[in-house]
Amino acid sequence: MTADTIIFDLDGTLVDTAGDLTASLNHALGVLGRQPIDPAGVRAMVGHGARKLLERGLAATGVMTAELVEAGVAPFLQHYAANIAVHSRPFAGVEPALDALQAEGFGLAICTNKPVALAEALVAELGWAGRFRALLGADSRPWKKPDPRHLTDTLAAANGRAAIYVGDSRTDADTAKAAGIPLVLVSFGYSTEPVETLGADVLIHHFDALVPAVATIQGQLTQGRPGQTA
């Protein structure tokens, strides 16, 4: 069965959010009496939610405790909500790729471990309100990625029949594999390990390659499960 829906991860896949996440992390660290972290260091920490980011930030600047993490959550989220798209921008080629996929009749959706209110706010700030048929965040269901139900529920919310998933990390790869959904990985996101090792059906290095990647997977789906290509 060929796909009628393309589902995307958000941070590190559609949007480079590292700048705003860095600013919010450093704000929270400052509230907790810690020194700021260089943006290059933060980039490798993002992609697993606010608490994990705070854990890593605290560990990098001194002692990390559950109490300190909890104390940092509110200042982090408050700062981030107020500054959600100061530096965040779509990766190169994203909007033409989305336009092309919609022109071909695909429905678009987002499945992210970002809290849904923040994800919706970011999408709106980028001028994408109405572009996606569904957006499910970390708190949209009792489960989140890598639980495959997060991805399959996103497909259902988009009224889709079958999907191709686009992500950037092991979490995305594990989610797609568990859901039995073909996977495109981007090489420019926030993965902390080589994306070539994560088992993508297709790996792309620029969004200009997404539409051809989808066509490749669609062709493979007519013959069975996609194979892995680079």
Catalytic annotation present for 9: yes
pTM: 0.93
The residue-averaged pLDDT of 207-230 equals 84
C-alpha 124/C-alpha 211 separation (Å) is 24
Q: What pLDDT, in 10s, does the model give residues 79-119?
A: 999 999 999 999 999 999 999 999 999 999 999 999 999 99
Question: Side-chain half-sphere of 149: how many Cα atoms within 13 Å?
Answer: 7
Let me know whether 116 and 214 are in one domain: yes
Query: Which of these is catalytic: 9, 11, 168, 172?
Result: 9
Together in a domain, 125 and 199: yes
Q: 162 and 184, same structural domain?
A: yes
How many domains, in total, are found in the chain?
2
Query: Of the candidates 82, 108, 131, which is a domain's last residue?
Result: 82
Q: Is the pLDDT of residue 228 over 90?
A: no
Asked if residue 174 has pLDDT above 50, the reply is yes
Tell me, rounded to whole angstroms, the distance of Cα 145 from its chain centroid: 10
Tens-place pLDDT, residues 18-55: 999 999 999 999 999 999 998 887 877 876 778 889 99
Which of the residue ranges 95-104, 174-183, 221-230 would you say has the lowest mean pLDDT?
Answer: 221-230
* 227 in any annotated domain: no
CATH number of the domain at 73, please: 1.10.150.240
Given 82, 110, 129, the domain boundary residue is 82
The residue segments making up the domain with residue 58 are 18-82
Residue 228 lies in a domain: no
Its sign, for the CA torsion 126, 187, 45, 152, is positive
Are 142 and 192 found together in one domain? yes
Nearest to 12 by CA among 38, 41, 46, 40: 46
- Asked whether residue 116 falls in the same domain as residue 146, the answer is yes
**pLDDT tens-digit map of 117-127:** 999 999 999 99
